[in-house]
Structure 1
């Protein structure tokens, strides 16, 4: 296995008849979760990805598991919980830059994850363990599960990737800051956004933020700065890798997960850091142009074409 990730994926409902939930009479049903967005992004780019989680033993959970399995993600470590439901959330896309999300995930099956649910051999067999700051916010047992997963990874020389993925609605600022910094200090690769860095360190300068994250102990920090691209930082150097122009942002949700998938794909392929970050920028940009959390994730040929011809019109027939 190239990468194993752990976390919650939910049923996603998006209003169709009106962008506002208060007026909507019909909704589209999809699935969304940072970890499976990331895993699907990797499988579409030709890599092996596994997902650890729990879903409800309900129709939503069964449908979700079938769909994610169909995307090529290994779901052997996903369990059905007979006592808790599959989580759900609603997304209002009012415009490309104005998206509102409402969660209905309290007490969900994934929030019942326990350290005892982890298969040590499964994690030990991966090259990378990918975790986000969402999972430890779901419950105390989820927090302990993430710490145990990281411990297993470290015991077996599996590199830990951490995407803070701050969700302010899930926990208090003080608690989230403490836990996110704790996990950052245990990680080999950290993938923060500029806003997350400012939240954690009360600093807005990207260069200073990169240095602050490196001091946590990571060997690689990649700081996302939106449309302008991303900086990578190592002990030896840092560099800004420009983003790709997107003239019409349709739905920005999931772009960060796509970025992570593109970046890690590049590292798995042995690309130089600048090219790996550029690959992440390309995937992230493509995700914003398609409605849905993962629908815009490209395969390798689509990504190559986009990165080579971002300014040319699509004339495929």
Structure 2
């Protein structure tokens, strides 16, 4: 090898050794370029919104409402994809594992994001809120204590008195569900021993309540208000700070001395790691959607309320809700949940 070639080899070796430690950082920087570029042009093709329950239910309804409303400002289509199974955890886990590029979103709700991770963390293949990037809260729905319209229960006190002296049953929309946890909390608070009858969803539970096979069902009020108006169900009390506008004669549980509150909330999240620029675009679109009086009317017609909490504020909201249910679950015997 001549001197020139030897010198070139020496310089190449020196450069390689000098920069080898920096190579991983250089590669990471290069790898970051596509994400930055994608964020700058987002969105440029349709977005998928995962709903972890079958079509036709309340969660599916909220998903389709918000998808349609946000399409107007994002200028692209949002396709609702129903992924039911394992009480909703299959679709939720799928969203957590999706690419963090803003093109897979999840309609989050209380049972999947707060109750399941708190009551049965060993059965849930994701962490809340750690595996998700918060976009925003959509709505909150109060819970109500329902009985059949032809029952002898005209007040919460009537129901409590009966449950303390008779074998009584309550319906839930599934073991480990919010309805199960909430009723066990009421059992504990009032010194009752009502037995759970777990159903695969709210529909069958409501049918058996109307037929008198169970004494009560503690459920979000929105899906059951039509049965109340039709005269097949009676509402005894609701959760929340205030009585609902549609039935101002119905007391809140807070008025009756139950301090722990239960609400069914719906929100929008993305996989952890989604770029902040994309989250900002989605949060601004959600804000615009929730400011639309027509959407507010659709959400609030059955006593739900819109509430704007975006990004970090929504993340803090979810974290507080998880801690609330952890506290509740810690005070209920394991064999009751």
TM-score bucket (shorter structure): under 0.3
User: Which structure has the greater CA radius of gyration?
Assistant: 2
Determine which structure has greater relative contact order: mean sequence separation of CA pairs < 8 Å that are 6+ residues apart, divided by chain length.
2
Greater fraction of residues in helix: 2
TM-score (norm 1): 0.25
TM-score (norm 2): 0.24
